[in-house]
C-alpha cells in the first residue's frame, strides 16, 4: 500500500519520499553544514555571501525534516575552532546572521511545531547573542514536535571534558568522590545531548570525509552519508536522498549481518 505523502512536500521531495519506508526513518539526524566559503568563491563573491545563502538551506532542511516527522535534527552551526581560525569580521557577521535567523524563523518554527535547543559553550558567546538565543528557545518551548538543536560554539572534545567535570561535580555534591560512578550511561547523561537519542544518521555536505570534532561520542554507531553538494545548494530533497541511502544500509552494531547469519544457518543445517 502506498504510503501517505506528508503535507507540504514539493514535487521532487515527494518523488524521493515515495521510495522511503516511513517506518524506518532515522530518529535523530545530525548535519555538518560545510561548503559556504567554496560556494561563494566559485561565484566570485565574499565568504559571507555563502553564509547568507546557507540560511535558505537551513529553512528548507528543517521544514522538510519536520514535515516527515523526524523526531530530532541537530545542525553544526558554529564550532569552538571558528573563534580562533576565522577573521573577526566573519565571526561578527555570523553572530549577527544568527540573531537575524532566530528573529525571523521563530514564527516558522512555531508553525511547524518545532522546539529549539542548543548545545555548546553558550556562556562564551556575546551577551546579546545569548539573549536572542534564550528568547527564541523560550518562544518555542511549548512545541511538541521535532527538536531542532543548533550546535553553537561547539566542540565534541570540550563536551566530553564538560561531561566529566559535571560527573565530578555531581559526586562532590553527593558526598564526595567516593560516590563517583563512571560508565557509558553516566557519561551519556552528562553530555550536552543527554535529552536526545544518539544520531542514527550524520550527513556531511561538500564532500569532506571527516567529522570535524562533531558529536564524537554520540556518532559511534551512526551511518555516515557524504554528499558533494555544497551547503548553500542543499535542500529538503537532498535530506530525503540521505535518508534513502540510510535505509539501504544494514546496521549491525558490531554483530553479524543478515548474510552472515543466513550462511551460518545454512551451514548448520547442512551438518545436521
246: exposed, middle or buried (Cβ count in 10 Å: 0-12, 13-18, 19+): buried
CA trace torsion 100, 34, 226, 217 (10° rounding):
-80
246 closest CA partner among 10, 6, 30? 30
> Is 34 an annotated catalytic residue?
yes
Tracing cell 511549548 back to the chain, one arrives at 142
82 belongs to the catalytic site? yes
Catalytic residue among 10, 21, 34, 233: 34
- Cα–chain-centroid distance for residue 194? 14
Max CA pair span of the chain: 73
Contact yes or no for 231/33 (Cβ under 8 A): yes
Catalytic residue among 10, 21, 82, 213: 82
Q: Quick one: cell of 241?
A: 536522498
C-alpha grid cell for residue 140?
518555542
Q: Which helix (H) or strand (E) holds 151?
A: strand 147-154
Catalytic residues: 34, 82
Amino acid at each position: 500500500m502506498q504510503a501517505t505523502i506528508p503535507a507540504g512536500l514539493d514535487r521532487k521531495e515527494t518523488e524521493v519520499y515515495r521510495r522511503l519506508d516511513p517506518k524506518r526513518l532515522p530518529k535523530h539526524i545530525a548535519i555538518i553544514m560545510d561548503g559556504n566559503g567554496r560556494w561563494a568563491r566559485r561565484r566570485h563573491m565574499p565568504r559571507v555571501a555563502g553564509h547568507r545563502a546557507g540560511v535558505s538551506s537551513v529553512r528548507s532542511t528543517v521544514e522538510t525534516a519536520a514535515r516527515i516527522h523526524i523526531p530530532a535534527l541537530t545542525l553544526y552551526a558554529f564550532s569552538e575552532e571558528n573563534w580562533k581560525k576565522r577573521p573577526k569580521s566573519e565571526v561578527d557577521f555570523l553572530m549577527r546572521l544568527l540573531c537575524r535567523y532566530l528573529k525571523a524563523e521563530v514564527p516558522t518554527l512555531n508553525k511547524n511545531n518545532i522546539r529549539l535547543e542548543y548545545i555548546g559553550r553558550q556562556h562564551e558567546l556575546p551577551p546579546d547573542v545569548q539573549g536572542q538565543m534564550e528568547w527564541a528557545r523560550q518562544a518555542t518551548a511549548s512545541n511538541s514536535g521535532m527538536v531542532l538543536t543548533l550546535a553553537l560554539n561547539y566542540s565534541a572534545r570540550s563536551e566530553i571534558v564538560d561531561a566529566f567535570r559535571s560527573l565530578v561535580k555531581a559526586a562532590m555534591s553527593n558526598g564526595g568522590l567516593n560516590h563517583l560512578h563512571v560508565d557509558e550511561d553516566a557519561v551519556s547523561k552528562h553530555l550536552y545531548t543527554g535529552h536526545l537519542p544518539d544520531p542514527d544518521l550524520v550527513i556531511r555536505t561538500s564532500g569532506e570525509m571527516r567529522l570535524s570534532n562533531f558529536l564524537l561520542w554520540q556518532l559511534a554507531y551512526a551511518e555516515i552519508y557524504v554528499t558533494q553538494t555544497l551547503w548553500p545548494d542543499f535542500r529538503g530533497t537532498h535530506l530525503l536522498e540521505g535518508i534513502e541511502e540510510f535505509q539501504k544500509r544494514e546496521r549491525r552494531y558490531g554483530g553479524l549481518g543478515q548474510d552472515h547469519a543466513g550462511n551460518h544457518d545454512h551451514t548448520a543445517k547442512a551438518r545436521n
